[in-house]
Structure 1
Amino acid sequence: MLPLLTSRLLLRPIEADDAPGMFLLDSDPLVHRYLGGIGGAVVHELNQSVATIDFIQNQYRENGLGRWAVLHRETGEFMGWAGLKLVTDEVNGRRDFYDLGYRFRPEFWGQGYGYEAAQAWYNRGFNELELPSLCAYADVENLASCRILEKIGLQRGNIFMEGGTRCRWFERKRPGLSQ
């Protein structure tokens, strides 16, 4: 699959060399503020980020999808990740769905990067991959993330508990398919 380019971002598969950037992301307690039981624990060693990258790369091999690195187009700096993944475990009474997710380092919050990356994956998921639907969920208290998911076109659903965290469900069938 070709990399995704937006006006400010380059999105590409995560590589082993991204481990230091992943460590900066996943070792930051602010990043985990709204993840609770849904996003894993704060990491303390680089080898944990290496293991995360191995896990993501295995998703590429098994499902052809997974989270991708988000780099700043001008500087090449690792900002976080975004992408689609096939969720086979049960979440909110559902399984085998395509989850749209993103996570950014705090210095990139509030600048529209999350929206830009999410919109790029929404478009790829429906227009290029022709997926039947896209889903996402976020901590109900993470108002910024919930706003992004609605702004890209996902529809607000129910509130449910996941890993001890109150989450909001979002979903959209591919435009043109019967709702």
Structure 2
Amino acid sequence: MLKLPLETERFWIRTLSENDVDGMFELDSNPNVHTYLGNKPIQTIEEAAQYVKLIQQQYESFGIGRWAIIDKANGDFVGWTGFKFITEPINNHVNFYDLGYRLIERYWGKGVATETARACLSYGFEKLNLTEVYGMCHIDNKASKNVLQKCGLQLIEEFEYKEMPCYWLKITNL
């Protein structure tokens, strides 16, 4: 579990808390954010609160989960980054670490996802002793694919996930 916040040049990365619910609502109620996620944005603040609780449960169950990104310049919630331990089969894999990120739209195109995902990978390999991390994204989401590849993940294959064409990527800690 993340004990202390991670720090990058521009951001703090920390566990999600109830204080992040409004930011999660802004993030996940935006239809543009959900373009490559099945087009099902949330509708209520209660759904955002449930999502935060779900992630907090992952901290308890697996010692890991997605983490909040906080802008050092103004303290704003930017989105989330980090790992999810996947226990359901995806692309013939189970019990693996998935690297992901999701940002509030006004932060897109500013290098936030790459900067924070790299910090998470370093933490995962150096502090959590992870041996491999996977990533996946919709094949039309070029920005997400680019982030994963900039972080060192290698494209392995294409696969179908929830009836969507996706890329499957992997990085191994040598």
TM-score class, shorter: over 0.9
* Matched residue type, 2:81: A
For residues 21-40 of structure 1, the C-alpha deviation after alignment (integer angstroms, 9 at most, x for no partner) is 00000000000011127xxx
- Taking the aligned partners of 1:2 and 1:167, their CA distance within structure 2 comes to 33
- Taking the aligned partners of 2:104 and 2:52, their CA distance within structure 1 comes to 17
User: What residue ranges of structure 2 are gaps of 5+ in the alignment?
Assistant: none
Structure-2 residue corresponding to 1:35: 37
TM-superposed CA distance for 1:127, in Å, is 1.4
- Taking the aligned partners of 1:161 and 1:153, their CA distance within structure 2 comes to 23
- Taking the aligned partners of 1:61 and 1:111, their CA distance within structure 2 comes to 32
SS in 2 for 1:2: coil
For residues 10-60 of structure 1, the C-alpha deviation after alignment (integer angstroms, 9 at most, x for no partner) is 1100000110000000000000011127xxx21111000000011000000
Structure-1 residue corresponding to 2:14: 12
> Structure 1 stretches (4+) deviating beyond 4 angstroms?
none
- Taking the aligned partners of 1:49 and 1:91, their CA distance within structure 2 comes to 24
Question: So what's the TM-score if we normalise by structure 1?
Answer: 0.94
* Matched residue type, 1:19: V
Q: Percent identity?
A: 37
* Matched residue type, 1:94: H
Alignment of 1:135-146 (within 5 A): 135-146=134-145
Structure-2 residue corresponding to 1:129: 128
TM-superposed CA distance for 1:86, in Å, is 0.6
- Taking the aligned partners of 1:165 and 1:91, their CA distance within structure 2 comes to 12
Structure-1 residue corresponding to 2:119: 120
SS in 2 for 1:36: coil
Question: So what's the TM-score if we normalise by structure 2?
Answer: 0.97
TM-superposed CA distance for 1:171, in Å, is 0.4
> Do the aligned residues in 2 keep the contact of 1:101 with 1:118 (CA within 8 Å)?
yes
Aligned length: 172
* Matched residue type, 2:128: L
- Taking the aligned partners of 2:154 and 2:125, their CA distance within structure 1 comes to 15
> Do the aligned residues in 2 keep the contact of 1:100 with 1:118 (CA within 8 Å)?
yes
SS in 2 for 1:79: strand
- Are 1:58 and 2:57 an aligned pair? yes
User: What residue ranges of structure 1 are gaps of 5+ in the alignment?
Assistant: none
Structure-2 residue corresponding to 1:166: 165
Structure-2 residue corresponding to 1:157: 156
SS in 2 for 1:130: coil
